[in-house]
Structure 1
Amino acid sequence: MSRARAGDGEAFRALTEPHRRELQVHCYRMLGSFQDAEDALQDTMLAAWRGLERFDGRASLRTWLYRIATNQCLDALRSARRRPAKQWNIPGIEPPEPTGYGEIHWLEPYPDALLDGAISVPLGPEARYEQTESISLAFVTALQILPPRQLAVLILRDVLGFHANEVADMLDTTVESVKSALKRGRAGMQRSLPVTEARARPAAANSLAEEAIVAKFVTAYESADIDALVALLTDDVFMSMPPIPLEYRGRDSVARFCAFIFGSAPTYELVPTRANGQPAFGVYRHTPTGIHGSGLFVLTLADGGIDAMTVFENTVLPVFGLPMELDGNGTRATGNARGPLCPRSDQPWG
């Protein structure tokens, strides 16, 4: 600590690096966007580097860093720096009529490769959610509906397990205010995720049950077999495609959209990865000019089938170490999870 306060960048990195991954996940939960979380993490480390003299040791360094990160995210939320919704932009091709329009169009996926060491940290005694549940797309989406202060309190208390007095200190408020915000935040989450307790639990990650569903999905999608694909969907399956706000709910509605996709370009190749603790695929479309990345699918499995499909733009592929094109010989993409959206700075806070 004394070396870091004296300006030793290596000492500062040694102090903060053990907390870096979990802080990034914390920022992601608060902001719902991988890019925004990376920006907030960089701002957090810069603020910590510049303000290290003010760290008095009354709380742990980890708690102090969470205080900085939380307030950086609150500042970002208040400034409303969000990606705008994107309209369907394929000329001459109109998708089926949606069943609804989403509001959380800034949502982005989070690579599982960056979760190592981030969701296995010891939680405080107040934690109410499992770490794997609290990184799922459904959970992160529900968080985004909450007002910023309620969002911060619920994550700090129910996800990370900090005591009410610790959260009050982080947010420069009273314990009573924290308790009130938590009560309202829990009510908001219950409204957003009312069926989670009644619904059957999804297959465990990398289990035989998950692998069986995923293998059938890949076969059906790559062969454009709409009947086989529909057979894998639950009755109330839900499809969304941020930043495009179109949403499709129910097996018939999602089936119409998938038939539309297969009809517009019937040959696809899927490259497996994982996002938010869930099976995911880079989606590549065969065209006369090559095999081009068209997006990223994230599947939510429940009740023995596919309960949700979230379709992201191809701009997220590099974050997962996936290329924008395949080589034309059927070679599957490989690579690590750090891409252009995960810069690493030479600065002490980078």
Structure 2
Amino acid sequence: MDEAGRDRLFTDAMARFGPALARMARGYEADPDLRRDLEQDMQVALWRSFANFDGRCSLSTWVWRVAHNRATSHMLAHRRRNARGWTSIEDVDLATDAPSPFDATESDRAMALILSIIDRLDPPDRQILLLYLEGITSAEIGEVTGVSPDSVTTKIHRFKTMLTRRFAQGGAV
């Protein structure tokens, strides 16, 4: 593909997915400076990738796959910096003394709790949940991540169940 075609695809992709990619970067990187670097890295990787885009998959799938690969590479490169250990969604243990989101009056606190849980997950589980939160279907998440749609659905269900239990600790669901 020529550079003008690549530029058109990139412009279209950023118009459609730019805010979602920024949210994805937030899901992978808490540090604001490193997050901006990750966003820029995802954008550069996306622009470069359009030289090989042949339309065999949807633009959405292509964008998410490139972003997923770049974010995963970012996480692996910065693993030493991250003192917290990753865990599988099945092994997430929420501290009983952690404040309940219902104790907070702002929805930002509840979102901060959700993001802190997501931050503790292995990169593959994290990616599945971040894509789910963007409204991507299980089938497309599976195509992007290489996980079967049934496994994606199972992981999403487990996450919802865990959140329901956590929010129920505050006395309401």
Residue in structure 2 matching 1:153, options 128, 148, 154: 128
Q: Are 2:2 and 1:6 equivalent residues in the alignment?
A: yes
Query: Identity of counterpart residues, as a percentage?
Result: 21
Q: What TM-score, normalized by structure 1, do the two folds share?
A: 0.36
Give the letter for the 1:76 counterpart: H
Question: How far did 1:53 drift?
Answer: 3.2
Alpha-carbon distance between aligned partners in 2 of 1:183 and 1:68, rounded to the nearest angstrom: 25
- Structure with more relative contact order (C-alpha pairs < 8 Å, separation 6 or more): 2
Structure 1's unaligned 5+ residue stretches are 86-99, 102-131, 200-350
Aligned counterpart, 1:67? 65
Give the letter for the 1:185 counterpart: F
Q: CA 1:196/1:64 → structure 2, altered by over 3 Å: closer, same or farther? A: farther
Larger Rg: 1
SS in 1 for 2:13: helix
Aligned counterpart, 1:140? 115
Alpha-carbon distance between aligned partners in 1 of 2:168 and 2:138, rounded to the nearest angstrom: 25
Aligned counterpart, 1:28? 26
CA contact (8 A) 1:142 1:189 kept: no
Alpha-carbon distance between aligned partners in 1 of 2:162 and 2:123, rounded to the nearest angstrom: 12
Q: CA 1:13/1:53 → structure 2, altered by over 3 Å: closer, same or farther? A: closer
Q: CA 1:69/1:196 → structure 2, altered by over 3 Å: closer, same or farther? A: farther
String of CA shifts for 1:139-159, please: whole Å, max 9, x gaps. 2112112232222212222x1
Alpha-carbon distance between aligned partners in 2 of 1:168 and 1:62, rounded to the nearest angstrom: 13
Larger deviation, residues 186-195 vs 161-170: 186-195
How many residue pairs get matched?
150
Question: How far did 1:191 drift?
Answer: 5.3
Structure 2's unaligned 5+ residue stretches are 85-96, 99-106
Give the letter for the 2:138 counterpart: A
Alpha-carbon distance between aligned partners in 1 of 2:123 and 2:167, rounded to the nearest angstrom: 18
SS in 2 for 1:184: helix
Alpha-carbon distance between aligned partners in 2 of 1:177 and 1:33, rounded to the nearest angstrom: 30
Residue in structure 1 matching 2:43, options 35, 40, 45: 45
Question: How far did 1:162 drift?
Answer: 1.5
Question: How far did 1:84 drift?
Answer: 5.4
CA contact (8 A) 2:26 2:35 kept: yes
SS in 2 for 1:16: helix
SS in 2 for 1:54: coil
Alpha-carbon distance between aligned partners in 2 of 1:60 and 1:135, rounded to the nearest angstrom: 34
Question: How far did 1:169 drift?
Answer: 0.6
Q: CA 1:68/1:133 → structure 2, altered by over 3 Å: closer, same or farther? A: farther
Q: What TM-score, normalized by structure 2, do the two folds share?
A: 0.66
Alpha-carbon distance between aligned partners in 1 of 2:30 and 2:167, rounded to the nearest angstrom: 16
Q: CA 1:196/1:155 → structure 2, altered by over 3 Å: closer, same or farther? A: farther
Question: How far did 1:65 drift?
Answer: 1.3
CA contact (8 A) 2:9 2:50 kept: no
Please give the root-mean-square deviation of Cα atoms over the aligned residues, in Å: 3.4
CA contact (8 A) 1:143 1:189 kept: no
CA contact (8 A) 1:150 1:185 kept: no
Aligned counterpart, 2:81? 82
Aligned counterpart, 1:17? 14
Judging by fraction of residues, say which structure has more helix.
Answer: 2
CA contact (8 A) 1:146 1:185 kept: no
Alpha-carbon distance between aligned partners in 2 of 1:36 and 1:47, rounded to the nearest angstrom: 16
